[in-house]
């Protein structure tokens, strides 16, 4: 029943340009996104970061205030979406991802205690099975979000990545999804995407990005550098993750919001 309600809500949001009849009374809206600014963290090999240029700010000759800016940024940094084409030549581009894949039931798996003790920890298939014994089978189309607690390190490159050598991504240490968990979730459960509060859905020590490849091969989406997952229950919430609609893009900045119903 809960899954039916969640999917009905998603369908209503997708199908209505103005969801005037949508009653969110008592619903808690949780922002799962970091702000974009000069210090926003990007992958160590990224040639540049986020930049904001002031075009206008102040009183106009006509007597009113006016502000305008130009921004530039790589697709993959800050809270962002990985489109399937990021790791699959035939995968969907950012502008081709269906809306019902971006608005979906949320499943939050908490691995924060283990990650605090082992920054190379990864979620395994046995962890997914243990979660399902308590909360039920993860539904097809869900967005599975891994909470590691890593958002507490946001802004501190050394703590967040495990290494701060400029231009070097070979010595990173942070937790993520293990390939066996990804196969179970993507290939057997048919989830629509994976998300995490670290720089990558693969753990930092990965040299092959196998979790990315497993996900992209099934046109799944990735959400990285999330925040605030501790405020979202294991099941019962919805996630809205709408990225910039970049034509032919491999990803882009995304504002991710969780809708937590009052009974959660």
Model confidence at 12: pLDDT above 90? no
List the helix and strand counts (H, then E) for the chain: 7, 12
Return the pLDDT at 17: 42
Active site residue 86: yes
Assigned token pair, 79: 């809270």
What is the arithmetic mean of pLDDT over 72-84? Answer: 98
Quickly state the pLDDT bin for 5 (edges 50, 70, 90): very low
Model confidence at 8: pLDDT above 60? no
What is the arithmetic mean of pLDDT over 116-133? Answer: 98
Assigned token pair, 248: 């032919």
Quickly state the pLDDT bin for 47 (edges 50, 70, 90): very high
Q: Is residue 214 part of a domain?
A: yes
Mean pLDDT for all residues in the chain: 93
Model confidence at 16: pLDDT above 70? no
The answer to whether the beta carbons of residues 185 and 132 sit under 8 Å apart is no
Report the SS3 class of residue 101: helix
Return the pLDDT at 21: 59
Quickly state the pLDDT bin for 24 (edges 50, 70, 90): confident
Return the pLDDT at 20: 54
Instruction: Give the up-direction half-sphere exposure of residue 36: CA atoms within 13 A in the CB hemisphere.
Output: 19
Model confidence at 176: pLDDT above 80? yes
What is the arithmetic mean of pLDDT over 223-246? Answer: 98
Quickly state the pLDDT bin for 4 (edges 50, 70, 90): very low
DSSP string, 111-140: -HHHHHH-TT-EE-HHHHHHHHHHH-PPPT
Q: Is residue 199 part of a domain?
A: yes
Model confidence at 190: pLDDT above 80? yes
DSSP string, 142-204: PEEEEE-SGGGGTT-HHHHHS---TT--SS----EE-HHHHIIIIIIS--SEEEESSS-SS-T
Which of 259, 227, 256 has the alpha carbon at shortest distance from 243? Answer: 256
Q: Which residue has the tokens 């922002």?
A: 31
Active-site entry in 86, 135, 153, 212: 86
Instruction: Measure the CA–CA gap between 80 and 242, rounded to whole angstroms.
Output: 10
What is the arithmetic mean of pLDDT over 97-119? Answer: 98
pLDDT tens, residue by residue, 197-224: 999 999 999 999 999 999 999 999 999 9
What CATH number is associated with residue 221?
3.50.30.50
Q: Is residue 63 part of a domain?
A: no
Q: Is residue 59 part of a domain?
A: no
Return the pLDDT at 108: 98
Quickly state the pLDDT bin for 264 (edges 50, 70, 90): confident
* Domain enclosing residue 145, as ranges: 2-46+75-260
What is the arithmetic mean of pLDDT over 130-148? Answer: 98
Q: Is residue 128 part of a domain?
A: yes
Q: Is residue 51 part of a domain?
A: no
Report the number of distinct structural domains present in the chain.
1
Q: Is residue 82 part of a domain?
A: yes
Return the pLDDT at 10: 47
Instruction: Measure the CA–CA gap between 264 and 261, rounded to whole angstroms.
Output: 6
Q: Is residue 23 part of a domain?
A: yes
């Amino acid at each position: 029943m809960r899954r039916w309600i969640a999917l009905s809500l998603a369908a209503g949001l997708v199908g209505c340009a103005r969801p005037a009849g949508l009653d969110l009374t008592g619903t808690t809206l949780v922002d799962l996104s970091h702000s974009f600014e000069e210090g926003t963290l990007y992958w160590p090999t990224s040639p540049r970061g986020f930049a904001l240029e002031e075009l206008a700010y102040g009183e106009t000759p006509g007597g009113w205030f006016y502000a305008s800016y130009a921004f530039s940024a790589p697709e993959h940094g800050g809270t962002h979406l990985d489109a399937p084409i990021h790791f699959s030549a035939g995968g969907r581009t950012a502008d081709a991802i269906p809306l019902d894949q971006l608005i979906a039931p949320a499943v939050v798996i908490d691995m924060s205690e283990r990650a605090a003790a082992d920054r190379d920890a990864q979620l395994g298939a046995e962890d997914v099975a243990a979660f399902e014994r308590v909360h039920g089978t993860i539904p097809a189309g869900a967005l599975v979000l891994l909470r590691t607690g890593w958002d507490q390190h946001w802004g501190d490159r050394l703590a967040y990545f495990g290494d701060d050598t400029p231009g070097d991504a070979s010595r990173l240490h942070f937790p993520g999804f293990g390939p066996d968990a990804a196969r179970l979730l993507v290939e057997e459960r048919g989830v629509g995407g994976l998300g995490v509060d670290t720089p990558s859905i693969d753990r930092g020590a990965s040299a092959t990005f196998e979790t990315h490849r497993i996900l992209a091969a099934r046109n799944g989406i990735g959400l990285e550098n999330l925040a605030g997952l501790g405020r979202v229950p294991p099941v019962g919430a919805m996630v809205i993750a709408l990225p910039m609609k970049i034509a032919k893009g491999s990803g882009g900045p995304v504002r991710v919001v969780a809708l937590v119903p009052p009974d959660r």
